[in-house]
Amino acid sequence: MTLKIEELRSKIEGKEILKGLTLEIHGGEIHAIMGPNGTGKSTLASALMGHPKYEVTGGKVTLDNEDLLEMEVDERAQAGLFLAMQYPSEIAGVTEVFAGAGSKVQVASVHQLAATTTDFTQRRAVVLADGGVEWIIGEMNNGYTASDTKTLLQGNGAVSDNKVIAIGTGNQKSSYTTQAQHFGRSSVSQMITRAVMLEEATAIINGITKIEKGATHCDGQQTERVLMLSPKARGDANPILLIDEDDVTAGHAASVGQVNAEQIYYLMSRGISRSEAEHLVIFGFLAPVISEIPLEGVRSRLKDLVESKLGRS
């Protein structure tokens, strides 16, 4: 790999910093560029990496005889250019919702990050009297994922509705946790999670309903279901009920299993290929959750992402 810089000129906010820099770096070489503040060290690195604040006004830069300045930022990174940032940007992985008395809040959170990215996300909601929050969550990442969504039902009559769909592929390792903690009387929580694991993907799915002492007449329900389409795929569903009050209603349902071979056989006997049959079974498995999503745009987007995750787009 050879990086060749010829008469490079660059400015930021109208001020020219680089004034005709020439430098050539070959693979295996280490070059230390030193100097006082304002001499162009950061400007050079940022201009080479295509930072939008740094304008290249002249000169030429090639990487292995390819015009670096014509590449998009991601193309420069894929070509082997790397910029270590002193002050990297933060990508928010925390969502906080406050639903006041009598208010209704809908939150859609759909993640689709690359296989090289580990996604750790915490979502929190506090719901006051007669308020409600509805979580709509799509976990379509290609890398490792740890997701934790918790709702505190603090007010009397508070309501929480949580819908999660997830698909794991490759050798993904994922953890999906949904929680509802009841403090208010007559509060209601519903948590539904459906996950599909393909190839060698694994997932741990936790559903936790906690009803505190004094939270009478509450109703907490949860369902976790995992469908595995490969002998090497694995899913663990862990429904947990923590009840400190007698006068309540609470329930859970959980299932983990391989795709039904008879279903696949039946579809194939009707002239449908195995891959198409598996696709139909997956959509049939996820449909009860997707169809209940009240936001048309989110529902449509999730369907598209499921298609993409299954390699059908």
Across residues 296-312, what is the average pLDDT? 81
For residue 270, the model assigns a pLDDT of: 85
- At residue 298, the 3 state secondary structure works out as helix
Is domain 2-78 given the CATH code 3.40.50.300 in the classification? yes
For residue 114, the model assigns a pLDDT of: 87
Give per-residue pLDDT as tens, 15-69. Answer: 999 999 999 999 888 888 888 888 888 899 989 988 888 999 999 999 999 999 9
For residue 223, the model assigns a pLDDT of: 96
> Where in the chain are the domains?
2-78, 94-309
Quote the pTM value.
0.69
For residue 310, the model assigns a pLDDT of: 77
Q: Which residue has the higher pLDDT, 294 or 256?
A: 256
Model confidence at 236: pLDDT above 90:
yes
pLDDT interval class at 266 (50, 70, 90):
confident
For residue 207, the model assigns a pLDDT of: 97
For residue 140, the model assigns a pLDDT of: 92
pLDDT interval class at 311 (50, 70, 90):
confident
Model confidence at 90: pLDDT above 60:
no
Give per-residue pLDDT as tens, 120-165. Answer: 999 999 999 999 999 999 999 999 999 999 999 999 999 999 999 9
Model confidence at 92: pLDDT above 70:
no
Residue 91's CB: how many other CB atoms inside 10 A? 8
Give per-residue pLDDT as tens, 182-220. Answer: 999 999 999 999 999 999 999 999 999 999 999 999 999
Model confidence at 82: pLDDT above 80:
no
Contact 108, 136 (CB under 8 A): yes
- 83/85 Cα distance (integer angstroms): 6
- The strand order across the sheet containing 234-243 reads 94-99, 119-127, 145-153, 173-182, 202-211, 234-243
* Mean pLDDT score across all residues of the chain: 90
For residue 287, the model assigns a pLDDT of: 85
Give per-residue pLDDT as tens, 98-123. Answer: 999 999 999 988 898 888 888 999 99
Contact 205, 236 (CB under 8 A): yes
Q: Which residue has the higher pLDDT, 279 or 155?
A: 155
- 273/277 Cα distance (integer angstroms): 6
H, E, C per residue of 200-252: CCEEEEEEEEEECCCCCCCEEEEEEEEEECCCCCEEEEEEEEEECCCCCEEEE
pLDDT interval class at 166 (50, 70, 90):
very high
pLDDT interval class at 313 (50, 70, 90):
low
pLDDT interval class at 312 (50, 70, 90):
low
For residue 242, the model assigns a pLDDT of: 97
- 99/160 Cα distance (integer angstroms): 10
Return left, alpha or beta for 217; rule: phi > 0 is left, psi -120 to 50 is alpha, else beta: left
